[in-house]
Amino acid sequence: MTSSTERMIAEKDGAIGWMVFNNPLRHNAVSTDMWQAVPEILDTFEKDDAIRVIVLTGAGEKAFVAGADISQFEETRSSPEKVQEYEDMTASAFERIAVCTKPTIAMIDGYCIGGGLGIALSCDLRYAAEGSTFGIPAARLGLAYPLGQTRRLVNLVGPARAKEIFFTAKRYGAEEALAMGLINQLFSKEDLREHVLATCASIADNAPLTVASEKQIVDEIGKAPGNFDVAYCNRLIGRCFASEDYAEGRTAFMEKRRPRFRGK
């Protein structure tokens, strides 16, 4: 696809859009050009009606994403202005993943650290392989974690766990991550991809408008009190009931056949 770069690969496989962080020599640490490519790839995937679900993963066998490329910090964070510019760029990438209208899945095998965990937090679902490692070392670097990603972490694991993760800057094993709700499910390395593909097939087989609406409604519910937009959620619900897919779903149910959803 035209949005691919050397270190950010965009591929289409049927109903799945694959976004691969391709910097394995640095455990897929995200460089400036990679951050900038994230919104561009997602824009391309969103415009393709055939793509029903998007999977984010890392190249190689050692890492999902091991954080931002710290080797660039001297350049990208050398002044208050550059710090703000860099933070705006990364926040834009995180937010673009989070607001994507199509379901997103983080397929995690290996290191998922710092900004890499931020990327996973922006996804709707997180599936990991045994042996994967999670953590946020911000306290060891003297930097602050982005507000949006902090909120998403708190929504997932709760305030006490989130504070522990930040305060200690420790690394957690995959079993601990599963127990605290940081990931949805845990699989062997051999079974991870098979499960993700099966989940993608299940999502792709369902009504796109329903999936998109519930994704957005759940995200609204997760916002801070006072920011919840009831009218917006009701419009999304109404859109589903007024859709051709809803009529197709009812008809298929009565005819005892699989529905043929078109996202309309």
Question: Which CATH number fits the domain that encloses residue 150?
Answer: 3.90.226.10
Give the model's pLDDT for residue 4.
73
Q: Are 212 and 189 members of one domain?
A: no
Q: How many helices (H) and strands (E) does the chain have?
A: 12, 10
Chain-centre distance for alpha carbon 152: 11
Do 133 and 174 form a contact (C-beta atoms < 8 A)? yes
Q: Which domain holds residue 141?
A: 8-203
Asked if residue 176 is part of any domain, the answer here is: yes
Question: What does each C-alpha distance from 142 to 133, 137, 138 come to in angstroms?
Answer: 21, 9, 6
Asked if residue 156 is part of any domain, the answer here is: yes
The answer to whether residue 1 scores a pLDDT higher than 70 is: no
Asked if residue 263 is part of any domain, the answer here is: no
Averaged pLDDT for residues 132-142? 89
Q: Are 195 and 216 members of one domain?
A: no
User: When comparing pLDDT for 152 and 147, which is higher?
Assistant: 152
- Cβ atoms < 10 Å from Cβ of 31: 18
Give the model's pLDDT for residue 120.
98
Of the candidates 129, 219, 229, which has an alpha carbon nearest to the alpha carbon of residue 174? 129
Global pTM reads: 0.87
Of the candidates 50, 9, 16, 21, which has an alpha carbon nearest to the alpha carbon of residue 198? 16
Distance CA 30, CA 16 (A): 23
Residues 6+ apart with CB under 8 A from 14: 50, 204
Q: pLDDT, tens digit, for every residue of 221-263?
A: 887 677 667 788 778 777 877 888 878 877 887 888 888 888 8
Do 1 and 19 form a contact (C-beta atoms < 8 A)? no
Q: Are 163 and 226 members of one domain?
A: no
Q: For the CA atoms of 121, 124, 129, 133, what is the dihedral angle to 10 degrees?
A: 10
Q: Which residue type sits at 49?
A: D
What percent of the chain clears pLDDT 90, i.e. is strictly above it? Answer: 65
Question: What does each C-alpha distance from 13 to 4, 43, 55, 190 come to in angstroms?
Answer: 14, 17, 11, 20
Distance CA 150, CA 222 (A): 13
Q: pLDDT, tens digit, for every residue of 157-167?
A: 999 999 999 99
Q: Please tell me the total count of domains within the chain.
A: 2
Q: Are 234 and 192 members of one domain?
A: no
Give the model's pLDDT for residue 73.
65
